[in-house]
Amino acid sequence: MNATSLHHHHHHHYHHLLPSKPPPPFTKLTSLKTTPPSSSSSSLTANPPPAAPLTEEKPTRHRPTATTTDDTEYTAFWDYQHLFMSQRSEAVEPVVLRVVEGAVPRDFPSGTYYLAGPGLFSDDHGSTVHPLDGHGYLRSFSIDGGAGEVRFKARYVETEAQAEERDAETGRWRFTHRGPFSVLKGGRRVGNVKVMKNVANTSVLCWGGRLLCMWEGGDPYEIDPRSLATRGRFDIIPGDADEATSSGPPFHGWLDAVDVAALFLKPVLHGVFKMPEKRILSHYKIDEKRGRLLIMSCRAEDMLLPRSNFTFYELDSDFKLLQKRDFTIPDHLMIHDWAFTDNHYILVGNRIKLDIPGYDWKSGKLDPAFMNAVKGEESLLPHLFQISIKMDKKGKCQDCSITASEQWKKPSDFPAINPSFSGTKNSHIYVATTSRFRKHLPHFPFDSVVKLDSNLDKPVAIWSAGYRQFIGEPVFVPKGVEEDDGYVLVVEYAISVQRCYLVILDARRIGRDDAVVAKLEVPKHLNFPLGFHGFWAANN
């Protein structure tokens, strides 16, 4: 589980272990985290923004080197900007991707890799938004191992925010909410009666025959799995949720004034600012062993109060509520990700001072220095931590230790494991990380996948995309019964040639020269910005 996040800085780390059911016998838990242009595409505007200058060069298969001559501040700045260039075109009809290296293996499990993320950052009136606030753009890669081909689609999620900011007749955009997390309506603090906007751009989930695009603090949007057309908002919390309530142990010793403040805040936030009473978080978990979906929500008023109210829901494949538990923690915490066992929910809570540096919403430019801290400030960047928890027979925590990983100390995030081992003991973890060969972008964007093994005697294995070739989140696709018998999917953003590639890695060959099984090219006119979280959905 990650103890830090790409999306914000953390100042102090606090750990919370919440029982999902009666305590188990003595337990010790250890967790480690962190084709030519096709006519089938459509465009949301006739006048896309011009691209910034790029230095053209041939992509390389080799590992990056520290002797590249064009590793300048100027190149680094524009490479960073191009990771978040708007893509207004949609691939409504499937586009068969051209194989540029290797071949799609015949034993590849057929299915679809869905990738969520922002797609639009600049409107048609000179306004820009922070990358976290770009309108949701869903990409899909349908992989047919038998045919040896991959078909690509991409469409915008038709959210209420899109309806507000895009003219349906002309296709032109006018952002009405700007600033960090789009909290300023029209750029003004006065007269803003809507806080934030749900752009459904953070994560994607396939469950119970439904495809859902999720956002950090709002209802998910349901998408047609085949056409990627938006069906509308989906109420993922069952209406009879209160019937299965089983409250967690209360925390004592805090002031009644907080409850009084909450009573005043609720009607203001819900009635005036139109915020939902409960905000669904974008990070979910799937318990494959028990066939359950685990989701989590928090209360809107907790954004302004020194406490955190969390509700966990466990749903079956028909979205029927099986269990609901409420917990209150007397502190103002930020939860980015979490984990679970058979008996507990595990939160890595962070006391934060919310700041969104590295971005000037007036100029629309990103500062690469934000995620590339100077010497002595590397601790502010995302890293892997090992969390060990020891409990007694009554479920009380006897010992908890949080230590930086000794295996891999470079900045890292987007940890992935074989999903079949979620919630159980696993040995292998695949993480996006940096090679640190680039002088002006040493830490981020990531350019490598590192494979770690809980057996500390085994060497760390790494695959690097290449110089000026960045990557997003790795996703594991199981093939056999053994934990690392499968493939790792990762999108490569080759900024130097303005191309995106889907790379298929053999999980067992990472660290070797033949790790790349196949590399497929997305047509240049459909080149897309950096994605956030993805999901592998195998065909039934």
Residue 291 has pLDDT above 80, yes or no: yes
How far apart are the C-alpha atoms of 445 and 530, rounded to whole Å?
10
How far apart are the C-alpha atoms of 470 and 465, rounded to whole Å?
7
Q: Looking at residue 293, what is its pLDDT?
A: 97
Q: Looking at residue 80, what is its pLDDT?
A: 86
Higher pLDDT, 254 or 90: 90
Q: Looking at residue 52, what is its pLDDT?
A: 36
Least Cα distance to 380 among 388, 370, 390 occurs for 370
Structural contact between residues 465 and 440, judged by C-beta atoms closer than 8 angstroms:
no
Q: Looking at residue 36, what is its pLDDT?
A: 35
Select the highest-mean-pLDDT range: 68-82, 342-356, 499-513.
499-513
Q: Looking at residue 189, what is its pLDDT?
A: 47
| Least confident among 12-16, 24-28, 164-168 | 24-28
Angle at 168 between CA 45 and CA 218, to 5 degrees: 100
In terms of DSSP bridges, do strands 428-433 and 412-416 run parallel, antiparallel, or are they unpaired? antiparallel
Alpha-carbon Rg for the chain, nearest whole angstrom, is: 23
What average pLDDT does the segment 361-365 reach? 69
Residue 11 has pLDDT above 60, yes or no: no
Q: Looking at residue 481, what is its pLDDT?
A: 92
Residue 431 has pLDDT above 80, yes or no: yes
What average pLDDT does the segment 169-182 reach? 76
Higher pLDDT, 145 or 376: 145
Band of the pLDDT at 273, cuts 50, 70, 90?
low
Annotated binding residue at 336? yes
Band of the pLDDT at 333, cuts 50, 70, 90?
confident
The region, left, alpha or beta by phi > 0 then psi within -120 to 50, assigned to residue 32 is: beta
| Least confident among 110-124, 183-197, 449-463 | 183-197
Band of the pLDDT at 500, cuts 50, 70, 90?
very high
Band of the pLDDT at 223, cuts 50, 70, 90?
very high
| Model pTM score | 0.84
Higher pLDDT, 220 or 32: 220
Band of the pLDDT at 355, cuts 50, 70, 90?
low
How far apart are the C-alpha atoms of 105 and 241, rounded to whole Å?
45
Annotated binding residue at 177? no
The token duo for 149 is 């081909």
Q: Looking at residue 206, what is its pLDDT?
A: 97
Higher pLDDT, 473 or 358: 473
Q: Looking at residue 7, what is its pLDDT?
A: 35
How far apart are the C-alpha atoms of 475 and 240, rounded to whole Å?
34
Q: Looking at residue 272, what is its pLDDT?
A: 46
How far apart are the C-alpha atoms of 222 and 206, rounded to whole Å?
10
How far apart are the C-alpha atoms of 535 and 290, rounded to whole Å?
19
Higher pLDDT, 462 or 437: 462
Q: Looking at residue 46, what is its pLDDT?
A: 35
Least Cα distance to 417 among 33, 23, 14 occurs for 33
Q: Looking at residue 331, what is its pLDDT?
A: 81
